[in-house]
Amino acid sequence: MNDVRLRVNGVARQTAVPDHESLLTTLRERLGLPGSKNACEQGECGSCSVLMDSELVCSCLVLTAGADGRAIETVESLGADGVLHPVQQAFVDAGAVQCGFCTPGLIVAAYALLRENPEPSDLEVREALSGNLCRCTGYGTILAAVQRASRAMYRR
């Protein structure tokens, strides 16, 4: 086992993990944060997306023991006390959530985009979300949700 310290959603956490454990498993099964989803474990679907030291990555491809000392933000850091983050609210309002399995990863990816680029073009949104798969919506409502979130966050 390896002792690891992580800063998760602003809180210092410490845990012991086996050598080969992915950050996705650690978040879900040791740290009580099941928001990041496991749909492929091979980097293809993006449902496990988190920010690691502010960069969007697939948590299924991060070796937890190698991430000792890093800062992680998961979907649980967005929205507080029953109030949705504007990105989350926009997904609800645009009807971009069907089964919901892809939603947490898409919310984190959209949030990462809108932090860097307040007014992305449609093509920029497509590029930014190209690592996230959705089997239900056909993506149209998701693209609309990101534009809605951009307006809500930056009050245009």
Partner 1 sequence: MAVHVARDVDDATRAVAVDERAELIAGGTDLMVEINFGRRRPGALVAIDRVQELRGISRSGRVRVGAGVTYTQLLADDAGSAALREASRSVGSPQIRNAGTIGGNIATSSPAGDALPVLAALEATIVVRSVRGERRVPFAEWMTGPKRNGRARDEIIVAAEWESAGPKQTFMKVGTRNAMVIAVASLALVVDASRRRVGVALGSCGPTILRADRAQSFAAGVLDELGWERQAAPTETACAEFGALVASAARPIDDVRGTAAYRSHVLSVMAARALARVAVLG
Ligand X SMILES: Cc1cc2nc3c(=O)[nH]c(=O)nc-3n(C[C@H](O)[C@H](O)[C@H](O)COP(=O)(O)OP(=O)(O)OC[C@H]3O[C@@H](n4cnc5c(N)ncnc54)[C@H](O)[C@@H]3O)c2cc1C
Binding site for ligand FES (CB under 6 A): 38-41, 43-48, 58, 60, 97-102, 134-137
Q: What is the closest distance, in whole angstroms, from the C-beta atom of residue 43 to ligand X in the complex?
A: 3
Other beta carbons within 10 Å of 26: 25
Applying the rule CB under 6 A, the residues between 40 and 69 that interact with ligand X are 42-44
Give the three-state DSSP class for 63.
Answer: strand
- Phi first, then psi, for residue 25 (nearest 5°) are -65, -40
Q: Which of 105, 106, 93, 79 is nearest to 148 (CA)?
A: 93
Candidate list 16, 32, 43, 122; residue touching partner 1; CB under 8 A: 43
Which partner, ligand FES, partner 1, ligand X, none, binds residue 47 by CB below 5 to 8 Å per kind? ligand FES
- Residue/partner pairs of 83-86 with CB below 8 Å, 24 or more apart: 85/111, 86/149, 86/152, 86/153
Task: Figure out which of the listed residues 9, 26, 36, 49 binds partner 1, where binding follows CB under 8 A.
Answer: 49
Region binding partner 1 by CB under 8 A among candidate stretches 29-37, 57-65, 79-87, 95-103: 57-65
Shortest CB 41 distance to ligand X, Å: 10
